Every structure is written in C-alpha cells, then in structure tokens.
Structure 1
Amino acid sequence: MNKLIAALVAGLFATAAFAQASAPEAASAAPAAKTTKAKKHVAKKHVAKKKAAKAEAASAASE
C-alpha cells in the first residue's frame, strides 16, 4: 500500500512539473497564430438544407 501511495504522489509531482513547464511555450506560440489568415465561416450542410427548406415553404405559402 505504501508503494502505491508513493507512486501516486510521485505522479502528481510529475504532472505538476510538466504543467508548469509547458505554460510559457503556449504563450510564445500565440503571436505566431496571429500571422495566419482567418478562416472563412462555412455553414454546415444540414443547417443550409433547413434554411433552404424553410425559405421554400415560405415562398410556397405566400403564393
């Protein structure tokens, strides 16, 4: 049981050290992302179909 507790505590320390070490790398990568072009929003197919069906139903009802 003592070995299990020791292994868990060692794992927690390793996780904490890894989390603290990787934080500055993420901050330095952020300026590089700003230079990329913004992606154009593309509507999902099922949303486009629903909008088309709604518009078609509205035009059919008005006729």
Structure 2
Amino acid sequence: MGRGDKKTKRGKINRGSYGVRRPRIKKKVRPEIKIDVDKDTTVKR
C-alpha cells in the first residue's frame, strides 16, 4: 500500500487521477455585484 496503490490518496496523487479518496476541489462561485455610479442617487424632496 502506498504510491502504486489505486485506492489510496497517495496512489491517486502519483497517478494524477481523482476518486473517492481524492475528490476535486470545486471553486466557489461568487456573484458579481456591480454598483452603477451613473444613476442619480440623490433624494428628491
């Protein structure tokens, strides 16, 4: 058991594959919040 073993994390790293022992890290999706400066934000009285 070790680098050549398909079922271990070290073996997955060595082979460059993924699986249950070494899942892919998913990137977090962040929503882009855009602030529009062109709009008139003054309060009318």
Please give the TM-score of this superposition, normalised by the length of structure 2: 0.30
- The structure that has the greater radius of gyration is 1
TM-score (norm 1): 0.25
Higher relative contact order (CA 8 A, sep 6+): 2
User: By percentage of residues, which structure has more helix?
Assistant: 1
